[in-house]
Amino acid sequence: MSNRFTWFNTTSLTLGFVFLYLPILILVFFSFNESRLVTVWAGFSTKWYVELFKDEAFLDAALVTLRVALLSATVATILGTLAAVVMVRAGRFRGRTLFSGMIYAPLVMPEVITGLSLLLLFVAMGVDRGFWTITMAHITFSMCYAAVVVSSRMVTFDRSLEEAATDLGCTPFQSFIKVTLPIMAPAIISAWLLAFTLSLDDLVIASFTSGPGATTLPMKIYSQVRLGVTPKINALSTILIMIVTMGVITASILTKRAEAQRKADELMAES
């Protein structure tokens, strides 16, 4: 098997990545445009960033989004980890098929259906819609993603480590906290990050489940975009893209380092 780049491979990789990244780069580029028109270059300017930070509606929406995302990602990760433990460890129980169905179904469910059905539930229960209903909706669909991420790691978990801990006098609960959780930590952290970005990104479900009081950032962007493209949205997008890119790169460096550390520890333990 050849391990060099052939011309075919180089061309298709280049074209593929240009296709994936060029639109984003163009978007970032025009956020520094002097002109109000997004597609005609008129000189460098950061005025759209200044205007963005002056716009309180955007700042409010950003704050709501952040609060929803932090809270929903945290609860979703806890519930998702519990669900993963149930799927991998609990063995047989009544309603197991229904349980795993309810974990996997939201992953392929169109957002319009999830949004509509949750809204109708909230209306039937007579709850006031706003911050809390969006948060609950986000917990519901992101806990399923969290459960899948955590359980795929848990399947490969070496249970003899837990047994060793119990032999050394831990209760099952202690061994779960002291042995299982630290080993599962990378998967749990990626589950949290996934839940967090899913919540940050969601337009459809938030639009259905929100009330008059709460507008999230995607909802605000969407309503602006419907009115027309403005460099302000480009500026906002650039900031969000920067945050996510830095987050993903940091996370991948950290996991690589943790992995290297773990391998070094294993070598130490073996020698």
Partner 1 sequence: MDKKLGRLLLIGIPYFWLFLLFLVPFGIVLKISLSDVAVAIPPYTPTFDLESGWEGLKALLVELDFENYIWLTEDDLYWTSYLSSLRIAFVSTVLTLLIGYPLAYSMAKAPSEWRPTLLMLIILPFWTSFLIRVYAWIGILKTEGLLNQLLMFVGIIDDPLQILNTDTAVYIGIVYSYLPFMVLPLYSSLEKMDGSLLEAAQDLGCTAISAFWKVTLPLSMPGIIAGSFLVFIPAIGEFVIPDLLGGSDTKMIGKTLWAEFFSNRDWPVASAVAVLLLLLLIVPIVLFQKQQERAQEAEQ
Interface of this chain with partner 1, residues 90 to 129, rule: CB under 8 A? 90, 93, 95, 98-99, 102-106, 108-113, 116-118, 120-121, 123-124
Compute the distance between CA of residue 119 and CA of residue 112 in angstroms, rounded to an integer.
11
Least Å distance between CB 271 and partner 1? 27
67 CB burial (10 A radius; 0-12, 13-18, 19+): middle
One of 19, 43, 156, 268 touching partner 1 (CB under 8 A) = 19
Q: Which two tokens stand for residue 154?
A: 């848990």
The owner of tokens 């609960």 is 173
Compute the distance between CA of residue 183 and CA of residue 161 in angstroms, rounded to an integer.
10
Does residue 62 contact residue 214 with C-beta atoms inside 8 Å? Answer: no
For helices 56-89 and 96-108, angle between their N-to-C axes, nearest 10 degrees: 150
Q: Which of residues 122-161 bind partner 1 (CB under 8 A)?
A: 123-124, 136-137, 139-140, 143-144, 147
Least Å distance between CB 54 and partner 1? 21
248 binds partner 1 (CB under 8 A): yes
| Residue 228: DSSP 8-state | -
Q: Which is nearer to partner 1, 101 or 182 (CB)?
A: 101
Least Å distance between CB 203 and partner 1? 6
Q: Which of residues 197-226 bind partner 1 (CB under 8 A)?
A: 197, 200-201, 203-204, 207-208, 218, 221-222, 225-226
Residue count of the chain, please give it. 271
Q: Is 171 helix (H, G, I), strand (E, B) or coil?
A: coil
Q: Which is nearer to partner 1, 105 or 264 (CB)?
A: 105
Cα–Cα distances in Å, from 243 out to 46, 99, 197? 18, 36, 11
166 binds partner 1 (CB under 8 A): no
Give the interface size with partner 1 as a residue count (CB under 8 A): 82
Compute the distance between CA of residue 237 and CA of residue 27 in angstroms, rounded to an integer.
8
Q: Which two tokens stand for residue 239?
A: 């900031």
Amino acid at 253: I
Q: Which is nearer to partner 1, 52 or 137 (CB)?
A: 137
Q: Which is nearer to partner 1, 55 or 176 (CB)?
A: 176
Q: Which two tokens stand for residue 143?
A: 């806990």
Q: Which is nearer to partner 1, 103 or 179 (CB)?
A: 103
One of 66, 127, 183, 229 touching partner 1 (CB under 8 A) = 229
Residue window 47-86: x/- pattern of binding to partner 1, with contact defined by CB under 8 A: --------------------------------xx-xx-xx
